[in-house]
Amino acid sequence: MRFSQAALVIASLISLGYAQSATSSYVEPSVPTGSPIVGNYTGKYRPQTHYSPPSGFMNDPNGMFKDADGPDNTSGFFSNQTNGVVAMWTRAEYNPDPGPQTQWISYSTDGGYTFTDYENNPVIDSTSSQFRDPKVFRYEDYWVAVIAYSQEFAIGIFTSPNLRDWTHASNFTNAGLFGLQYECPNLIQMPMQGSSDPMYLLAISINPGAPLGGSITQYFPGQFNGTHFTAVDSAARIADFGKDNYAGQWFYGIPGTEPQVSIAWASNWQYGQDVPTGPLEGFRSVMSLPRQNYLANVTRIGYDLISVPYDLSPILGETLAENSSLGNGTLFADLSTVPSNAIYFELNLTSIPAANNTGSANFTLLSSTTGETVSGGQFLNGDFPFFLDRGRINGYDNVFFTNRFSTNQLIPSSGEFFMSGVFDRSILEVFIQQGERSATITLYPEQPIDTFVFRTGGLNAGIEGSAKVVALESAWARYENASGTVTGNSTQAVKRNKMGASELLW
C-alpha cells in the first residue's frame, strides 16, 4: 500500500460478495447498506460488474469481512454486544519526510460505519518508515497478524489474546521474488484438493520488480503452527499472468475448509495513476471480480492456487450466442445491444488426443467502428502456449503498458480444455482450465467494443467443442435515476477520536 499524505489510512470494511440487506442486523438503522455510493457510473470506460470508486483514486483492497460476528468481545471494547468490529491499520507519519509507520487499532459499535481510536495506540510501535499493511485473523483462541517489513523483505508474524497487546512471534524472510519491497501480506487457510486437511497460503505482493514490470502478487503454500509459517518449497508462484492484478486480499470469516474469496486491485503501479479514466471520467482504478480460491496439484510444480469468479448468476443476462458442436468453426456475438457492454464467455474442447495435437482456439473482442481488437487463445501443440494481446487497442499510450502476455497450459490426460472470461468495458479477466491459470488486464479502446468472436481451427479430427457468450447485467443500473446518477448510499463515513468527536473521512 502506498501513502499519499500525512494522513491516517484506515481499513475499509467492504462486504462485496456478501451484500448486506437494507436492514442490517448490526448497523444502525439509519445507515444504508447493500447499496453503492452516489455517483455517475455510465462512462464508456466505467466497468459495470466490477467495483470502482465514484470519483478519485482507489488502490489496494483491505479490511474485507463476511460479517461482523466473532469471538465474544476478546478486545474488551464491546460490553453489550458480540458483533463489534475492530480495524487494525497502519499510521504513516510524514514530517515532511516519511517517518515511522506504526500499527493502530480502532473499534466500531455500528458495524464499521464509525470508528473510535483506541486510547493506547499504537499497539505495535516502530521506528521504521517501511512497516505496514497488517492482516489479522483468528487462530485457535488468539489473534494473529502478518505485517510487512517492506524493505527488509520480511513478513512479521505477531500474536495477541485481545487485539490490544501484541507479541512478535517470528519472521518469514527473503523468499520468492524480492522486487524493491514486500507489501500487502495475507496468511489464509484454504482447502487443498484431494486432502481433508486444509493448508495455509501466504500471499506477498511486490512493487516494483514483477517479471512483467511494476507490481504483482506471489504466493507460498505451506503450513502454519500458530507462530511460524513454513513454505512447502522455495518456488515463487505468481497469482496472475496478466499485468493488472495486485495486492489480492481475502475476506475474513470464511471457514478454512471452504473455498476462500479474494479481491485484487486491477491495475499496476507503473501506470495506475496515469490511466485515461482519470481525465476523461474522473476516477482511476477498479477491483477485480471477487474470486473463489483453493489449492490443487495440477501442474508439474504443484500447490497451485485455483482462481475462478465468485457466483455470477445474479448478473447473468441473455445468451447472445451459443454453439454446442463448434468443431473447426466460428461463433459471433453482437454486443452492441448489451446496455452494460459486459459479457461472460466460455469455450470447452473435449476428446483432444494425447499426442500429435494440432490447432488452436482463439477469441477476439472487436470495435467495428475503429477496428481495435484485444485477443487471446490457446495453441494445442508445441509447449501449449496461451496468449493475450491488447496491443491493438488505441485509447492509451504508455511505455510501461505492456501489450502481450502468455503462459503455458498443458492438456490433461482427460483430453479436455476449458477457458472462460469476463469482459467489462475496460477490463478483461480470463480463466484457463477452471482457474488453473488466470490473467487480468485493463484496456482503453477509443470506441466501445461491440463484437465478440470465437474461432477454432486446425483441430484434430474427433475433437468436439462448444462455446457460449452471455450478456452481463450492470450492477449499477438498478440504482440509477433518469440522468444516470446512482442515488444509493449518500451518507459520509466518519471516524471518532478517543474523545468521541467525529472526523470526516470523505
**CB count in 10 Å sphere of residue 66:** 14
Please name the residue that has the C-alpha cell 499426442. Answer: 355
Q: Which residues contact 171 (CB under 8 A, 6 or more apart)?
A: 149, 154, 155, 156, 157
DSSP 8-state secondary structure symbol assigned to residue 19: P
Query: Between β-strands 427-432 and 417-424, what pairing exists: parallel, antiparallel or unpaired?
Result: antiparallel
**CB count in 10 Å sphere of residue 69:** 12
Q: What's the rounded Cα separation, in Å, for the pair 124 and 103?
A: 5
Please name the residue that has the C-alpha cell 467495428. Answer: 368
Please name the residue that has the C-alpha cell 488466470. Answer: 438
Catalytic entry in 133, 183, 424, 450: 183
Q: Which residues contact 489 (CB under 8 A, 6 or more apart)?
A: 32, 33, 35, 36, 37, 38
Distances 182 to 125, 170, 175, 480 between C-alpha atoms, Å: 19, 16, 10, 40
Backbone angles phi, psi at 479, to 5 degrees: -100, 0
Judge whether 165 counts as a catalytic residue. no
What strand order describes the sheet that includes 131-139? 131-139, 142-149, 154-160, 167-173
Judge whether 183 counts as a catalytic residue. yes
DSSP 8-state secondary structure symbol assigned to residue 338: -
DSSP 8-state secondary structure symbol assigned to residue 124: B
The enclosing H or E element of 277 equals helix 277-281
What strand order describes the sheet that includes 494-496? 85-94, 98-108, 116-117, 494-496, 502-504
Q: Cite the beta strand spans of 383-496 per DSSP E.
A: 385-392, 404-408, 417-424, 427-432, 437-442, 451-457, 464-472, 485-486, 494-496
**CB count in 10 Å sphere of residue 352:** 20
| Paired residues of 94 in beta bridges | 98
The catalytic residues are 60, 183
